[in-house]
Structure 1
Amino acid sequence: MIISSRRLVLSASLLALIAGSPAHAEEAESAAAAADAGVDAGTIIVTGTRATGITAADSPAPVQIVGSEQLSRIGQPNLNQALNQLVPSFTAQAFGGDASNLTLTAKLRGLSPNHALVLLDGKRRHPSANLHVTAGPFQGASAPDLDLINPAAIERIEVLTDGAAAQYGSDAIAGVINLILKKDSSGGSLAITAGKHYETGGETIATTGRLALPLGENGFVNATVSYRFHDTTRLGDGDRRVVDINGNLLPGVSLAGYPLTGAANFPKVNPIFSDAKSHLTTALVNAGYDFGGVELYANGTFARRVATANEQYRGPLVVLRPNDGRPIQAGAVVVGSNVYAFPYGFVPLLKATEEDWAVSGGVRGETDGWRWDLSATFGRDRVSLATIDSANFSLFQDFGYTPRDFQDGGFIGSQLTFNLDVAKEFDLGLSKPVNLAFGLERRRDTYTIFAGDPESYYRTGAQSFPGFQPSSAGQSKRKSWAGYLDLTVHPVEAWSVSLAGRYEDYTDIGDTAIGKITTRYDFSDGFALRGTASTGFRAPSLGESAYRAISVSPTSETVQVAANSRAAALLGYSALKPEKSTNFSLGLVARPLPGVTVTLDVYQIKVRDRIASTGTINGLRNFAVVNQAVLDAIASTGREYDKTVPQVGVSTFTNAFDTRTRGVDLVVATTTEASFGKIDWSLNATYGQTKVTGTKLPATAFTPTARSYIEKAAPRYKVGLNALLTSGNFTFSLRETLYGSAYALLSPDGAAFYEGRIGGAAITDVEAAYRPVEWLEFAIGANNLFDKRPPDIPAVPGSAATNPVYINGAQVHNAPLNYAAYGINGGYYYGRVSVKF
């Protein structure tokens, strides 16, 4: 019945799109290209071009615009989630393991999150210090954290889905996401949003306030502050280490007088599959003053996040009683010669305290026709990690005590950028003036790992996340400079050609030169062809080069060694080098009817020497040595591996493989006028496929699972139909998103692999809002209205469906496939009250 309802919604929506009466625009250039976004094709864009006065409809490269009105109607005030729902080629991370779950990220066009450049009002945004190390589709990510920018501060977002490294520098292989801030000089707003998931919890409450004031006669100040609390979700069923399929306590898992039925949430004792609990506070100030020909501008952001993520359940921690007369820690349970620090077992928590701030400012103006902009931007992100409600097994065994909370150390990343941009138009007798632009950039990056308390890393370290040792601590630095040249000409009225070239030089990886050509030909007011060809590159992040840490589960330990370390060299891996890309795209822009705009773009992106983790290279399997070089590499780091777990290995980042991504993007938009009001429509669709075309890793390091994360773990297609009905004081929005199927090859033992498939899904989002007076609005809505969830991880082939499923060696039941593009938590309903003044 639900499936039928969804089909009816889609069918009715498409019928209205085809048969509705389009509104006539006064000019073809102002046809609605993104009406649901609250902007249209006549909007002047600043992304993807150095020329002035270019509209979205006239852009030679595909630029999708998401407006403030559209952002305001997303139930969860989270910029990652907003773009995931509104931009087809954008995929947000739904779940991460360990520290990755504390700062979720996203990617563009199916590539790595590191392949999309994020700009804030046209200036490069600093990356997150929290490198995603856990295996999965988002491994290696250290992209800027979009969640730290509140959507209420944004006027519009320009998403350039085209390779643009030659224009903007490193990272822009898949495209550019430019967040354009509001610049009002009066007014303000206050909004309160509350909601939760239908069945899995995750209560959320968010408050946002914004105030705009004049600054003198020709200036403005905008301030936006927000607070958001999101509680943990909980998925999964009875843990097979404590109960059987019928929920009966298994024999041999209870202590005398301490049955495991006393464990928290018994028998669902393993809460690893859950959102992190988080408290997020953000502030953003944007200001400017026009002196007449010269403008001063500045913005600053601050964010503080405190988040805790559930780790794997551990059984009772048992050691032998110390025999030298040392006291046993209070609260321990003594049974014979054994000592139990946690008689019911325990679930460690990984806690992150993150403080992120940035400031950007400059002066721009025009002198004798020369437009110039001189700016400086600095950003810093600090993440402190702690392991809570855990224990250090070795410390307890050697000294008879262990703390329960550990300070693990953390990371600090910073970026300082100076930019000079100059442009001028010259009349050379062509159909339009020639636009010449050039500029310089100077950048300094740092990445620091700081050590934890000694108790956190003593011998085997704190359970679930050992602290960083002094040998892992240190700072990496890099300086770079770049120069670019950009030229746009119109040989004839209907034809534009843009050429861009860029040279960059880094102190640690050398130099590179890249280029881009973009062209567009308008055959008429209603039809144009456009295309680009470019080369690009991405410098390895300092985190990818220098990160080193320990990852442990109840049955395994993996040591991440730095790519530029002696340990990596012992395993045959060298220092990282840049990724390089070749991009091609061809598209059309059509206006088949007045008020209707259609864009269709096909593309191919080849990336060479893509950086990825090797995956776990085992040195110990089932307590037997299978690779002594791995154990030697671990020893070279000064670390003693955990001899109580059967699996011990290492991993490192390396230039692992080459890929080819091919796809197509479609955008259709219009507005329907009716007696009861108007409906703004947009249909967005994307299809893409990534193939690994060559690998530099042995089969033992580049497993079928790792390959499937690159090629299969994201849906090949995503189609979104958006409709916004406005009738008097009432608005109703509908988003219907269709996801294709996806899968990854999973393995309980690293030897046999089986397919974990997520079938296609239709996700419905709705919101109804009513404004009784101009300054007050009430809204209720639901994301994933019909509570669609991904299937559970399948049982091991050849066994009964009721048998245990293994996740990192821990036996669980009903664990969801966590790479679903639409998340693992199911439906979410919410309410919002907003006031404007």
Structure 2
Amino acid sequence: MGICSRRVLLCGMSAAALLGLAAAASAQTAAPGGAEAELDTVIVTGTRMSGLRAVDSPAPVQVLDATALQRVGQSDLIQAIAQNVPSFNAQAFGGDTANLTLSARLRGLSPNHALVLVNGKRRHGTANLAVLGGPFQGGAAADLNFIPLNAIDHVEVLQDGAAAQYGTDAIAGVINLILKDKGEGGNIIVTGGQYFDKGGKTGDITASLGMTPVENSYLDLSFESRWHGHSNRGDFDPRVLAPGFAAQYPAVAALPNYPYVNLIAGDAEYRLNIGSFNFGYQFSEALEFYSFGTYGKKYAAAFENYRVPGRVVNAAGAPLFPAGFNPKEAIWEDDYAISGGLRGTAGGWNWDLSTTWGKDDISINTLASANASLYLDTGFTPTDFHAGDFINTQWTTTLDLAHEYDVGMAKPLTLALGAEYREETYEILPGDLASRYKEGSQSYPGFALTDAGKHERRNWAVYADVALSPVEALQLDFAVRHEDFSDFGDTTVAKATGRYDFNDMLAIRGTASTGFRAPTLAEQYYSATNVGPNTAFVQLPPNSPAARLVGVNGLQAEKSINYSVGFVAHPGWGVTATLDLYQIEIEDRIVGSGTLYGSGGTPTIPAVAEAIVANGNVLDSTVTFTGINIFTNGLDTRTRGADLVVTATTGMLDKGSVQWTLTANWNETEVTKIAAPPAQLAGASLFDPSALYTLEKASPKFRLGAGAVWTWDKLSVNLKESLYGPAKSVDSYDGSTWYQSRIKTALITDLEVAYQVTDSVRAAVGANNLFNTYPDRLNGIYRQQFLSNTDNGYVGQYPTFSPFGINGGYYYGRLTYTF
């Protein structure tokens, strides 16, 4: 079925939705876990008031219950949220180690601009910084995939600036994961699937168990084990088809899939085991102890660029690997977090004292590789290397107080006060000696002694929040927060929120807020050498003396202003609709620079070559292009957009009921100011066209989702259409000429059919991207540059910024046993 036919399907489904709403107004039945249940959920995100439902919130909060999350074919939490919230875009592919820790971003901003909470407590970030270019560059947010999907009761997504309420990082919004606290029942879910065009084989088993260890307590345990296989969507490697290559290296032609020997363009493989607990014990009506935590262990490995036989040779010129080799970057990762606290009431005050500690510890390794210089100099090289370690920790202690006062208004005034203290560390440990000898291990050199170091930050904050209703129809909320950082001084941010209900059918709401985000420690101090077969680029830490040689003197904090206005409508027939318009202005935004060449590219900048030497890096002398990348505050941006959510549940006479959902996001970012280039760059800019396009064009301009879940007796059918707007990038072979690549508007169909076999057993089969749609290929003239120069870059044929991935369709089966 082509895209035109699928558009007919979408239009037909939308028409059916309208007919169903009009014809079945008197036959509404809300299925458990449906749209109405989500709207009626009492939320704790975006407000300090108690008992507030999502549908009554003055700020836009989208609630996803466990049923909605588990209808997604992939069993990871990032995909579960991204396929339900159109302004939340998941990363499909990353460069180097970023392919081992995929992330997501909200409202087109950086992953670092969305704060992740678990049961309302701040979650620590990953230690694996996304370094290479693209829309997810610089991301070091919380890794959602270390939280079992089966542990979650529901997710509250606050799509609004909330730095004054929750602290820095909440410029785009907040994702609050609420864990199960039932204390009874449970389930076991087994899922398996793979891509239509091979690769990506996935298996997942997860279990959840609720119990009551003692009276007045609950304990919910969850465990998940998941594995995922490599995929390959790359083109052939032109190096192995060069004249005379086959005669010189005949063993290469015998490789599987020759000449498609380069496996870099595809998914990493991984094995993930994660567990969680959520415990509470109520001493009395006025005092409760609670604790929750997660632990995860992960192995992941991604193929890097194929190395030809002549890359690693002995003194006589004989290759160590006659057929060449495919190195891998691999991580062994331990991630854990634990929270504990007491909450209760005293003197009319609700209080909550808690502490949360989290750590992400990653061992970076280079496998099936070699150190060319070490082998040439000594006749020996390991094939597996320990390239170093990333370690990130966060310890947060908070005190929250709230009191309701009857001051003669329509509702009691809620006064909330609080304080927070947080300590963070980020550490890089060096690689083993062989991994960092001269230019280091092929594909991923070990971290040098000059890269290594441990860095710390402390900050404290106090806040106040007042929520009031002067009249029944009006809700107002004012928040102010003061934060003090050990390395960035202090700041004060504020937020005002209001909602007015004209009647039961229509309400308007709006917010205005300021924000502040200190750079992550990783953005400030990460240092490494990123290499390819003919490239070597240093990621220069902006706080280093070497950075000053190119005119960068450390990082400043970002400042933001956020406005939104919207409405909530209940036109009847069980329909609820919300539309929110927003604008987010960020001053001194932290972004990655473009490519700054020290040799080989255009322009070549002497200060760049000097900075590489000053930073202590030794680059491969055989490569064509060398240079640096660096994080800097050189831009201001403005993001404008709109979020639409329409939900309804209608009866289908004696044929069950249908949950209808229509969601949409329109989003556009504009660079409003570019700082003058430093004098040291001799007229060149820190930001090439690729860096600017990444901010302004690489996200889909709009995303529309239309879904229907039909439930009839034991059968349910979930059909969803997602329309992704166009996205663009520009690329250059050597910095002299730029070529635009465009992903055209694409319609993606997801379908799942489930049947309740017994009271306890439910079976489902389904497909994501049912019609196996791929993004448009990269610009053909741009790719021809690689082909003409016999360059391995020709292998990458699909844009890695594709919002629906580069792997095509995925089909799966799932079996659920509930007890």
Q: Is the pair's TM-score, using the shorter chain for normalization, greater than 0.5? A: yes
Give the C-alpha shift of residue 225 in structure 1. 0.5
Task: Kindly report which structure 2 residues correspond to 1:97-246, keeping only aligned pairs within 5 A, or say none.
Answer: 97-243=95-241
Alignment correspondent of 1:309: 302
Output the amino acid matched with 1:747. S
Distance 1:528 1:31 in 2: 25
Aligned counterparts, 1:328-367, within 5 A: 337-367=316-346
Please state how far the C-alpha of 1:806 moved relative to its aligned partner: 8.4
Q: Any conservation in 2 of the 1:556–1:809 contact (CA below 8 Å)? A: no
Task: State the distance in 1 between where 2:570 and 2:541 align.
Answer: 53
AA in 1 matched with 2:293:
G
Where does 1:379-398 land on structure 2 (aligned, <5 Å)?
379-398=358-377
**Which residue number corresponds to residue 331 of structure 1?**
none
Q: Which residue of 1 aligns with 2:681?
A: none
Cα separation, 2, equivalents of 1:625 and 1:60: 52
Offset of 1:802 from its aligned partner? 7.1
Query: Aligned residue for 2:93?
Result: 95
The CA deviation at 1:452 is 0.8
Name which of structure 1's ranges 108-117 and 805-814 shifts more when overlaid on structure 2.
Answer: 805-814
Match of 1:533 in 2: 512
Q: Secondary structure at the match of 1:752?
A: coil
Q: Which one of 381, 398, 417 corresponds to residue 419 of structure 1?
A: 398
Contact 2:368 2:383 in 1 (8 A): yes
1:429 aligns with 2:414: no
Structure 1: tracts of 5 or more residues without a match: 244-249, 323-336
Deviation at 1:656, TM superposition (A): 2.2
Instruction: Confirm or deny: 8 A CA contact 1:681 1:723 kept in the other structure.
Output: yes
For the residues of structure 2 that align with 1:566 and 1:748, how far apart are their CA atoms?
30
Tell me how far apart the structure 1 counterparts of residues 74 and 215 of structure 2 sit (CA, whole Å): 37
Mark the CA change 1:160 to 1:807 in structure 2 (over 3 Å): closer, same or farther. farther
In 2: Cα distance, 1:575 partner to 1:288 partner: 45
Note if 1:289 corresponds to 2:284: no
Report if aligned partners of 2:312, 2:371 keep a CA contact under 8 Å in 1.
Answer: no
The verdict on how the C-alpha distance between 1:166 and 1:583 changes in structure 2, with shifts beyond 3 A counting, is: same
Equivalent residue of 1:39, what SS?
Answer: helix
In the TM superposition, residue 659 of structure 1 has moved relative to its aligned partner by 0.4
Q: Does 1:760 align with 2:745?
A: yes
- Where 2:326 maps in the other structure, the secondary structure is coil
How much does 1:619 deviate? 1.1
Q: How many residues align?
A: 810
* CA positional deviation for 1:188: 1.1
Question: What whole-Å deviation, never above 9, does each CA across 1:302-350 have from its counterpart, x for those lacking one?
Answer: 011100001011112356754xxxxxxxxxxxxxx41212222221100
Q: What is the DSSP-based 3-state SS (H/G/I as helix, E as strand, rest coil) of the residue aligned with 1:14?
A: helix
Q: CA deviation at 1:538?
A: 0.9
Asked if the contact 1:581/1:607 (under 8 Å) is kept, the reply is: yes
Are residue 670 (structure 1) and residue 655 (structure 2) matched? no
1:625 deviates by 10
Q: Structure 1, residues 51-107: CA drift from partner, whole Å, max 9, x if none?
A: 111111110000001110111111110111111111010000000010000000000
Alpha carbons 1:157, 1:180 under 8 Å: kept: yes
Match of 2:606 in 1: 628
Range with greater deviation from structure 2 (99-108 or 230-239): 230-239
Q: Which moved more, 1:102-111 or 1:750-759?
A: 750-759
- Counterpart selection for 2:805 from 823, 827, 831: 823
Matched residue SS, 2:320: strand
Partner of 2:576: 597
Match of 2:243 among 236, 242, 251: 251
- Between the aligned partners of 1:224 and 1:468, the Cα distance in structure 2 is 36
* Change in 2 beyond 3 A, CA 1:32/1:542: farther
Measure the CA separation in 2 of the matches of 1:668 and 1:808: 52
Report the RMSD for the aligned CA atoms in angstroms: 2.0
The alpha-carbon distance between structure 1 residues 778 and 487, as it changes in their structure 2 partners (threshold 3 A), is: same
The whole-number CA distance in structure 2 between the counterparts of 1:226 and 1:703 is: 43
Correspondent of 1:650 among 628, 631, 641: 628
Contact 1:309–1:351 (CA under 8 A) maintained in structure 2:
yes
Contact 2:30 2:36 in 1 (8 A): no
1:794 is displaced (CA, Å) by 2.3
The answer to whether structure 1 residue 739 and structure 2 residue 721 are counterparts is no
Aligned equivalents of 1:231, 1:321: Cα separation in 2: 34
* Residue 698 of structure 2: aligned partner: 713
Query: Which residue number corresponds to residue 253 of structure 2?
Result: 261
* Unaligned 5+ runs, structure 2: 678-683
Which SS does the other structure have where 2:623 is aligned?
Answer: coil
Paired with 2:274 and 2:61, the residues of 1 have a C-alpha distance of 28
Q: TM-score w.r.t. structure 2 length?
A: 0.96
8 Å CA contact 2:59–2:511 kept in 1: the answer is yes
In the TM superposition, what is the alpha-carbon distance from 1:398 to its structure 2 partner? 1.4
Q: CA deviation at 1:812?
A: 2.2
1:31 to 1:431, Cα distance in 2 relative to 1, 3 A = farther
Secondary structure of 2:39's counterpart equals: coil
Classify 1:412/1:727 alpha carbon distance in 2 versus 1 (closer, same or farther; 3 Å).
Answer: same
For residue 13 of structure 1, give the secondary structure of its aligned residue in structure 2. Answer: helix
Shift of 1:262: 2.6
Q: Which amino acid aligns with 2:307?
A: R
In structure 2, the CA distance between the partners of 1:725 and 1:398, relative to structure 1 (3 Å rule), is same
**Candidates 364, 371, 374, aligned match of 2:353:** 374
Structure 1 pair 2/161, CA: closer, same or farther in 2 (3 Å)? same
**Aligned equivalent of 2:71:** 73
- Say which of 264, 269, 284 aligns to 1:277: 269
The verdict on how the C-alpha distance between 1:25 and 1:97 changes in structure 2, with shifts beyond 3 A counting, is farther
The one-character-per-residue Cα deviations of 1:648-684 (angstroms, maximum 9, x if unpaired) are: 1112211121100001111111111021100011100
Deviation at 1:33, TM superposition (A): 13
Name the CA distance, whole Å, in 1 between partners of 2:595 and 2:644: 39
Distance of 1:828 and 1:637 partners within structure 2: 45
For 2:730 and 2:790, the matched residues in 1 are separated by: 14
Q: Distance in 1 between the 2:470 and 2:115 partners?
A: 31
Structure 2 CA distance for partners of 1:37 and 1:358, relative to 1, 3 Å: farther
AA aligned opposite 2:405: F
Distance in 2 between the 1:215 and 1:368 partners? Answer: 31
Among the aligned pairs, what percent are the same residue?
A: 46
Q: For the Cα contact (< 8 Å) 1:255–1:343, is it kept in 2?
A: no
**Matches of 1:814 and 1:486 in 2, distance apart?**
51
- Compute the displacement of 1:170 (Å): 0.6
Structure 2 match to 1:14: 14
Stretch moving more, 254-263 or 804-813: 804-813
CA distance in 1, matches of 2:83, 2:787: 32
Q: Distance in 2 between matches of 1:666 and 1:807?
A: 48
Contact 1:263 1:345 in 2 (8 A): no
1:836 aligns with 818
Q: Is the 8 A contact 1:113 1:143 kept in 2?
A: yes
Q: Does the 8 Å CA contact 1:449/1:475 hold for their aligned counterparts?
A: yes
The residue aligned with 1:443 is 422
Could you give the per-residue CA deviations for residues 282-305 of structure 1, whole angstroms, max 9, x where no partner exists?
Answer: 000111111222111110100111
- What SS does the corresponding residue of 2:781 show, helix, strand or coil? coil
1:20-59 CA-partner distances (Å, limit 9, x unpaired): 1467699xxx998997457232211100000111111110
Displacement of 1:808 after TM fit? 12
What residue number does 2:472 align with? 493
Q: 1:619 to 1:33 in 2, by over 3 A?
A: farther
Q: TM-score when scaled to structure 1?
A: 0.94
Q: What is aligned with 1:611?
A: 590
Following superposition, the deviation at residue 9 of structure 1 comes to 2.4
Distance 1:318 1:652 in 2: 29
More helix by share: 2
